[in-house]
């Protein structure tokens, strides 16, 4: 058996005649191999990254790549965390790097090494031996290439969502992380939002009984930003929507539900079905923009993804998950989070509510529950997270937890299997939509280890030691939490 799982699967299938012979067959990638055939082949996990504790890092030296929409906020948040050294900044546009250098100066920090001027400037940064962690906030298509290159060069990788855009990329991440024993964390910030953490703790302590069903969504009107020339560099996000049809951005709603259900750690997704509405807005918007400005001519197509996608998943233990995606309709923002069990339920958006025995709890009852079930990480860092910000504080809580785990040699809350599995829903939903919503098998990126993997640790056992510095509003003094 070759150490490269994708090559092994490909060669085995070609050898057994499952895949059509000829040049076209030899050019096939793992993404073209059906999961039903994959299940017939025995593969071996190189190393189980779930629960893996990498050697402690007294200082976490970080290199950031992608300083457009999300990167600047990440740099600023990390500048407040003790034990962090921001040693490198990378973006193809030099002015973005210079802007972040000024931020570091304002924070009283030394300038970082700059990498810019080309689309692959990030490679030199990943090759820098003085970096421990590469923090990736680039367009989606670069997430896997940069993460893989970083791990190959001895760095941990933390990437914005989604971590991958194809099934082949999902396997690349898994295989590289297992082989190099370097963490690959997808930065799913919604797993660190306050209500999501609360319901996770409640689920762990049996409040909901047996978890039966979960729902998540990303409903956010981004149509204006997608068509804005200075919104996403080179219009990359509009291009993603131009020829793909499915749930392109599933992880915000999916991640917290997967943690509640212990997916990859006691249960596993088995298959999904996905349906998309027609596109009622993007193609017409593109034609209207092109009529006024020829710049938009390349975006006039009738192949935009549908407004609303609904994807449903069934797990091996019989649970179900519903995930929705709509970023064009003029709807009120909703990042739906619903947990339903045999004893109770909780939901968020349009409002936060918890129910027992078919009745919503009153505000005073909710407050008591919050006091009882608020997890340790929120008690430890929650108030400071709200002050620092980042989607209400969840971004900062995520960053602090990542650094604290690396500094204390603790397993990460989100490992490479979560990154691969949660990201895989996008290409798999596209496949289902294209095939009249027929069901599609979901790969088991843990290769069976989900049956014995331990759930995510909710306590700060062995950690919680990382301090936080936050300049006061007037900038005249430092506040420090130990």
pLDDT in tens, 238-290: 999 999 999 999 999 999 999 999 999 999 999 999 999 999 999 999 999 99
Give the pLDDT score at 43. 65
Q: Specify the DSSP element, H or E, that contains 155.
A: none
State pTM to two decimals.
Answer: 0.92
Q: Which residue has the higher pLDDT, 475 or 96?
A: 96
Q: Which residues of 147-175 are buried (b: 16+ CB within 10 A; e: fewer)?
A: bbbbbebebbbbbbbbbbbbbbbbbbbbb
Closest CA to 52 of 457, 475, 468, 476: 457
How far apart (Å, rounded) are the C-alpha atoms in residues 243 and 476? 51
Give the pLDDT score at 357. 83
Q: Which residue has the higher pLDDT, 193 or 9?
A: 193
Tell me 94's DSSP state: H
Q: Quick check: 15 pLDDT over 50? A: no
- pLDDT digits 0-9 by tens, 287-336: 999 999 999 999 999 889 999 999 999 999 999 999 999 999 999 999 99
Q: Find how far residue 436's CA is from the centre of its chain.
A: 27
Instruction: Please list the helix, strand and coil fractions of the chain in percent, rounded to the nearest 5, in that order.
Output: 40, 20, 40
How far apart (Å, rounded) are the C-alpha atoms in residues 72 and 389? 13
Q: Which residue has the higher pLDDT, 13 or 294?
A: 294
Contact 413, 191 (CB under 8 A): yes
**SS3 category, 184:** strand
Contact 130, 104 (CB under 8 A): no
User: 65: which strand partners?
Assistant: 90, 136
How far apart (Å, rounded) are the C-alpha atoms in residues 131 and 471? 26
Q: Quick check: 471 pLDDT over 70? A: no
Give the pLDDT score at 5. 55
Averaged pLDDT for residues 339-366: 95
Q: Quick check: 16 pLDDT over 50? A: no
How far apart (Å, rounded) are the C-alpha atoms in residues 16 and 410? 43
Contact 341, 233 (CB under 8 A): no
Q: Quick check: 478 pLDDT over 70? A: no
Given its phi and psi angles, is residue 304 left (phi above 0), alpha (psi -120 to 50 degrees) or beta? beta
User: 441: which strand partners?
Assistant: 271
| Domains of the chain, residue spans | 5-38
- pLDDT digits 0-9 by tens, 82-131: 999 999 999 999 999 999 999 999 999 999 999 999 999 999 999 999 99
- pLDDT digits 0-9 by tens, 426-438: 999 999 999 999 9
Both tokens assigned to 453? 């993997």
- pLDDT digits 0-9 by tens, 180-221: 999 999 999 999 999 999 999 999 999 999 999 999 999 999
Both tokens assigned to 13? 């299938």
Q: Confidence class of residue 29 from pLDDT cuts 50, 70 and 90?
A: very low
Averaged pLDDT for residues 46-64: 98
């Amino acid at each position: 058996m070759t150490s490269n799982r994708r090559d092994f699967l490909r060669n085995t299938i070609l050898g057994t005649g499952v895949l059509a012979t000829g040049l076209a067959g030899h050019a096939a990638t793992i993404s073209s191999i059906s999961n039903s055939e994959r299940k017939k082949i025995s593969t071996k996990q190189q190393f189980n990254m779930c629960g893996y504790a990498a050697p402690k890092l007294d200082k976490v030296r970080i290199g950031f790549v992608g300083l457009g929409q999300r990167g600047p906020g990440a740099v600023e948040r990390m500048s407040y965390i003790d034990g962090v050294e921001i040693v490198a900044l990378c973006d193809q546009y030099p002015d973005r790097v210079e802007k972040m250098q000024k931020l570091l100066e304002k924070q009283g920090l030394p300038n970082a090494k700059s990498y810019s001027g080309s689309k692959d400037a990030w490679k030199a940064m990943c090759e820098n031996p003085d970096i421990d962690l590469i923090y990736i906030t680039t367009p989606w298509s670069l997430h896997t290439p940069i993460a893989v290159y970083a791990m190959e060069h001895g760095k941990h990788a933390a990437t914005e969502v989604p971590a991958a855009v194809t099934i082949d990329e999902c396997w690349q991440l898994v295989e590289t992380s297992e082989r190099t024993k370097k963490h690959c964390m997808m930065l799913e910030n919604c797993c660190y939002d306050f209500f999501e953490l609360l319901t996770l703790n409640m689920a762990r302590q049996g409040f909901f009984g047996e978890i039966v069903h979960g729902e998540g969504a990303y409903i956010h009107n981004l149509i204006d930003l997608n068509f804005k020339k200075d919104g996403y560099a080179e219009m990359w996000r509009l291009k993603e929507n131009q020829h793909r049809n499915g749930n392109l951005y599933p992880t915000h709603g999916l991640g917290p539900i997967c943690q509640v259900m212990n997916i990859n750690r006691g249960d596993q997704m088995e298959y999904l079905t996905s349906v998309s509405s027609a596109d009622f807005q993007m193609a017409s918007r593109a034609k209207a923009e092109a009529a006024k400005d020829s710049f938009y001519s390349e975006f006039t197509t009738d192949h935009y993804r549908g407004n609303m996608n609904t994807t449903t998943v069934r797990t091996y233990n019989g649970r179900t998950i519903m995930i929705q995606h709509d970023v064009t309709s003029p709807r009120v923002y909703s990042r739906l989070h619903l947990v339903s069990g045999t004893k109770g339920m909780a939901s968020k958006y349009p409002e936060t509510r918890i129910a027992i025995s078919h009745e919503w709890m009153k505000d005073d009852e909710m407050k008591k529950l919050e006091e009882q079930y608020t997890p340790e990480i929120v008690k430890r860092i929650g108030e400071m997270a709200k002050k620092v910000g980042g989607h209400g504080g969840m971004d900062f809580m995520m960053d602090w937890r990542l650094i604290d785990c690396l500094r204390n040699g603790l397993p990460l809350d989100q490992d490479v299997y979560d990154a691969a599995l949660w990201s895989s829903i996008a290409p798999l939903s596209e496949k289902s939509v294209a095939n009249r919503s027929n069901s599609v098998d979901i790969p088991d990126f843990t290769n069976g280890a989900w049956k014995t993997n331990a759930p995510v640790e909710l306590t700060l056992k062995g950690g919680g030691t990382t301090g936080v510095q936050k300049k006061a509003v007037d900038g005249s003094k430092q506040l420090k939490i130990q």
